[in-house]
Amino acid sequence: MNKIISFDNVNGILTCEAGCVLENLSTFVENEGFIMPLDLGAKGSCHIGGNISTNAGGLRFIRYGSLHGNVLGLEVVLADGTILDMLTTLRKDNTGYDLKHLFIGSEGSLGVVTKISVLTPAKLSSTNVAFLSCNDYTSCQKLLLAARRSLGEILSAFEFMDHHCIDLAMQHLEGVQNPLPASPYKFYVLVETTGSDESSDKTKLEAFLLRSMEDGLVADGVIAQDISQASNFWRIREGISEASVKVGAVYKYDLSITVEKLYDIVEEMRCRLGDNAEVLGYGHLGDGNLHLNIVSSKYDDNILAQIEPFVYEWTSAQRGSISAEHGLGLMKAEKIHYSKSPEAVQLMASIKKLLDPKSILNPYKVLPQSVL
Amino acid sequence: MNKIISFDNVNGILTCEAGCVLENLSTFVENEGFIMPLDLGAKGSCHIGGNISTNAGGLRFIRYGSLHGNVLGLEVVLADGTILDMLTTLRKDNTGYDLKHLFIGSEGSLGVVTKISVLTPAKLSSTNVAFLSCNDYTSCQKLLLAARRSLGEILSAFEFMDHHCIDLAMQHLEGVQNPLPASPYKFYVLVETTGSDESSDKTKLEAFLLRSMEDGLVADGVIAQDISQASNFWRIREGISEASVKVGAVYKYDLSITVEKLYDIVEEMRCRLGDNAEVLGYGHLGDGNLHLNIVSSKYDDNILAQIEPFVYEWTSAQRGSISAEHGLGLMKAEKIHYSKSPEAVQLMASIKKLLDPKSILNPYKVLPQSVL
């Protein structure tokens, strides 16, 4: 199940089997002058079928959007053994209901994805990365808006980290240096651009940085001068999860909240926990996606009781999502009500019963047992 | 039902009622520095609820993709009167099945869309339009690939027309001039770029045009020097449908076919029909979407018998779509099998029966009566 079936190199449409490893697909399409529309830390081991079943997000989401927009066709095996052939390679097809979306993000509970066709964007030649610091969260938000305005079509990442993340990364990640060591700042932002014109892209990023400093949004900032410096910037952002684990115990939450309120939960959590644990806030700010990691030397039921169900109740009250990109799985199936209305959960259960009446596909996951 | 409910001007997220007219929404978000992710000829009269129910495509599709990628949330009223609240404004939410996709493009047959939240891209300051000619269809294809490579992230339209379209437009549209009158060419291409940097964007388009001429892909070409010239270019492309109607009878087909084979059906149809009718091929080449218009002085059953079912059988054999963006409605409900497998149609029928057991929502449309 790991074969590439075809590649249309005029339109950048890849058709392959579900067992292909994401990184192998990336390498294949890059040789043809295209890139995969998603990129994840786990790319070396994750399968494209799993990416689709879990509606994986990742680092290119702000630029290329969700798999619901990029997947063109699927072949799926249903619970009764029927092979559902929806494997078109068309960008547009308005004949009947677009069934493939039912299988994107349903965690294998409605059918098993076996083949995929996906749109791959053209590979662009120029990438630039800047590492910036802000004195407060309001500045981070304003900086995001300014980046959308002035970097426009070349913006390809806007990641933020609070200083707790940076401190932890510096302490626990080998060979990593703080690009802005001069003084401690409250927030750090990684901005990446990807475009087709090296000199104009760099000029644009430099002008953006200069203007943001003049406007007082950015306290300090540096643009990577080579690939190794750019890798160091990304290593900090991508290493926060790894650094968290080294402390001992980590309670991880993956929340979607409107950008305006996104940092409030981090501060509230810090007040609740006091000295009992350290609270880290970081994530894909451009997508309104907060990774909230709470770290302590060892697991402690009292800490967990301070966090849950508070974190879910708070997110629910903001109409946020308690799982932005990680899915519900076994651990959060019973928590779906925090993010979905009873009517929606009921309809999901009806669809599950229609497609898998004996509940043989990934049982106990995604939906609460009470509705099945 | 025509109220704007909210607008998040950091993230460009619009929430509104389903009865808002697309053009009014465009004007509203443009004042905030954003644009709607879709644009249609019918924008002055069509409602956003209808756009979503029919999964409208349009002129910005190549750049911003389908509504499945841009719609963030919906409120839908089901056949039994249940209000299904899926009206989130989150970019990422992996909690349970993403039900909203069932209602995008199902032509109102599963529920009535009442509220919408949609992601609007940042408005960019610089637009450039070029009108080019090619001597053969292979050059049009190569030009598309070259445009994706060298215009990259600023490419916002790639429309093609054969010379029959241009001749008809010149004959029937008032005040329209052929931008390349010197000699007759076989094919014409409209290329649009949208970006954030006027001078660099224009330089890029000029370099692309020059290189394409040197490489022999483009026979002749001109870049619009002002808005009025750009409007004239677009008027030709958008006026083909209007010009077709003026001939008398028009048989219209909206097909998705891989770009490589897309023009074959136009040529085959021309051979079949000979002098009985004129065959026009044009459309969104960048999306693999052909508009095939067959015009004659009056409706004639013999002409129709020459066209159908041939056009559907041919498209089906190419694994194309017999309705790229127009939907199935009443006229094509029985023709769904040309583009969808029996298993897929069966599953659509099961979902229809689950959501609307009495078939009260848009009856006789989308699905064949035989499966309901």
Q: What's the confidence (pLDDT) of residue A40?
A: 86
β-strands B4-8, B13-17 pairing: antiparallel
Tokens of A173: 């990640």
Q: How far, in Å, CA of B86 to CA of A340, rounded?
A: 8
Residues in B closer than 8 angstroms to A368, CB to CB, are: none
Segment B239-260 shows an average pLDDT of 94
Burial of A274 (0-12, 13-18, 19+ CB in 10 A): exposed
ipTM above 0.90, yes or no: yes
Residue B150 pLDDT greater than 90, yes or no:
no
Residues in B closer than 8 angstroms to A105, CB to CB, are: 94, 97-98
Contact A285, A256 (CB under 8 A): no
Q: How far, in Å, CA of B327 to CA of B349, rounded?
A: 16
Cβ of A259 within 8 Å of Cβ of B11? The answer is: yes
Q: How far, in Å, CA of A330 to CA of A336, rounded?
A: 11
Q: What's the confidence (pLDDT) of residue B157?
A: 93
Q: What are phi and psi of B16, to 5 degrees?
A: -150, 170
Alpha-carbon distance values, B168 to B4, B33, B245 (Å)? 41, 38, 10
**Facing residues of B159 across strands?**
B190
Q: How many Cβ atoms from other residues are within 10 Å of residue B15's Cβ?
A: 20
β-strands B278-284, B289-296 pairing: antiparallel
3-state helix, strand, coil in chain B (%, to 5): 40, 25, 35
Q: What's the confidence (pLDDT) of residue B332?
A: 94
Out of B94, B197, B260, whose CB is closest to A10? B260
Q: Identify the CA nearest to A317 among candidates A274, A268, A271.
A: A268
The distance of B184 to chain A (nearest Cα, Å) reads 27
Tokens of B29: 């978000």
Residues in B closer than 8 angstroms to A83, CB to CB, are: 343
Cβ of A324 within 8 Å of Cβ of B93? The answer is: yes
Q: Could you tell me which chain A residue has the CA closest to the CA of B33?
A: A149
Alpha-carbon distance values, B231 to A136, B128, B226, B228, B237 (Å)? 46, 11, 9, 5, 10
**Facing residues of B47 across strands?**
B21
Contacts of A291 (CB under 8 A, 6+ apart): A240, A241, A252, A253, A254, A255, A280, A281, A282, A283
Q: What's the confidence (pLDDT) of residue B291?
A: 96
Q: Could you tell me which chain B residue has the CA closest to the CA of A82?
A: B343
Q: Residue B289 belongs to what H/E stretch?
A: strand B289-296
- Interface probe for B, chosen from A55, A94, A287, A321 (most Cβ of B below 10 Å), is A94
Residue B152 pLDDT greater than 90, yes or no:
no
Q: How many CB pairs under 8 A join A and B?
A: 274
Give per-residue pLDDT as tens, B316-359.
Answer: 999 999 999 989 999 999 999 999 999 999 999 999 999 999 99
Contact B244, B293 (CB under 8 A): yes
Could you say which DSSP state residue B330 is in?
Answer: T
Cβ of B289 within 8 Å of Cβ of A92? The answer is: yes
Contact B136, B161 (CB under 8 A): no
Out of A82, A98, A327, whose CB is closest to B68? A98
Burial of B298 (0-12, 13-18, 19+ CB in 10 A): exposed
Radius of gyration from C-alpha coordinates of chain A = 22
Query: Quick one: pLDDT band at residue B108, thresholds 50, 70, 90?
Result: very high
Cβ of A351 within 8 Å of Cβ of B354? The answer is: yes
Q: Could you tell me which chain A residue has the CA closest to the CA of B339?
A: A95
**Facing residues of B74 across strands?**
B86, B116
Number of H helices, E strands in chain B: 13, 12
Q: How far, in Å, CA of A258 to CA of B10, rounded?
A: 10
Q: How far, in Å, CA of A320 to CA of A262, rounded?
A: 9
Cβ of A366 within 8 Å of Cβ of B96? The answer is: yes
Q: Residue A353 belongs to what H/E stretch?
A: helix A342-355
- Interface probe for A, chosen from B62, B94, B100, B115 (most Cβ of A below 10 Å), is B94
Residue with tokens 């009223």: B77
Cβ of A323 within 8 Å of Cβ of B287? The answer is: no
Radius of gyration from C-alpha coordinates of chain B = 22
Cβ of B321 within 8 Å of Cβ of A88? The answer is: yes
Q: Identify the CA nearest to B345 among candidates A102, A354, A179, A97.
A: A97
In chain A, which residues have pLDDT < 50?
A: none
Contact A154, A130 (CB under 8 A): no
Q: What are phi and psi of B118, to 5 degrees?
A: -140, 145
Question: What is the layout of strands, in order, in the sheet containing B112-119?
Answer: B4-8, B13-17, B112-119, B71-77, B83-86
B346 against B175, higher pLDDT: B346
CA angle at A59 for the pair A53 and A63, rounded to the nearest 5°: 100
Q: What's the confidence (pLDDT) of residue A183?
A: 79
The distance of B176 to chain A (nearest Cα, Å) reads 30
Could you say which DSSP state residue B248 is in?
Answer: S
3-class SS of residue B171: helix
Q: Residue B159 belongs to what H/E stretch?
A: strand B155-162
Q: How many Cβ atoms from other residues are within 10 Å of residue B68's Cβ?
A: 24
Contacts of B274 (CB under 8 A, 6+ apart): none
Q: Could you tell me which chain A residue has the CA closest to the CA of B318?
A: A88
Q: How far, in Å, CA of A88 to CA of A5, rounded?
A: 13
Q: What's the confidence (pLDDT) of residue A59?
A: 82
Query: Quick one: pLDDT band at residue B59, thresholds 50, 70, 90?
Result: confident
Query: Quick one: pLDDT band at residue B149, thresholds 50, 70, 90?
Result: confident
Residue with tokens 């894909």: A284
Contacts of A173 (CB under 8 A, 6+ apart): A235, A236, A239, A242, A243
Q: Residue B222 belongs to what H/E stretch?
A: strand B220-223
Could you say which DSSP state residue B349 is in?
Answer: H
Q: What's the confidence (pLDDT) of residue A182?
A: 79
Share of residues in chain B with pLDDT > 70 (%): 100
Q: Could you tell me which chain B residue has the CA closest to the CA of A96?
A: B366
β-strands A71-77, A83-86 pairing: antiparallel
Residue B42 pLDDT greater than 90, yes or no:
no
Q: Could you tell me which chain A residue has the CA closest to the CA of B93?
A: A324
Q: What's the confidence (pLDDT) of residue B10?
A: 83
Q: What's the confidence (pLDDT) of residue B7?
A: 97
Q: Identify the CA nearest to A259 among candidates A287, A293, A218, A292.
A: A287
Q: What's the confidence (pLDDT) of residue A149?
A: 85
Contact A190, A131 (CB under 8 A): yes
Cβ of A96 within 8 Å of Cβ of B336? The answer is: yes
Q: What's the confidence (pLDDT) of residue B307?
A: 97
Contacts of A275 (CB under 8 A, 6+ apart): none
Q: How many Cβ atoms from other residues are within 10 Å of residue B368's Cβ?
A: 18
Q: How far, in Å, CA of A287 to CA of B101, rounded?
A: 20
Q: What's the confidence (pLDDT) of residue B60?
A: 87
**Facing residues of B241 across strands?**
none
Q: Could you tell me which chain A residue has the CA closest to the CA of B7?
A: A258
Out of B11, B65, B145, whose CB is closest to A65? B65
Q: What are phi and psi of A293, to 5 degrees?
A: -110, 130
Tokens of B52: 């979503």
Q: Identify the CA nearest to A64 among candidates A284, A347, A265, A300.
A: A284
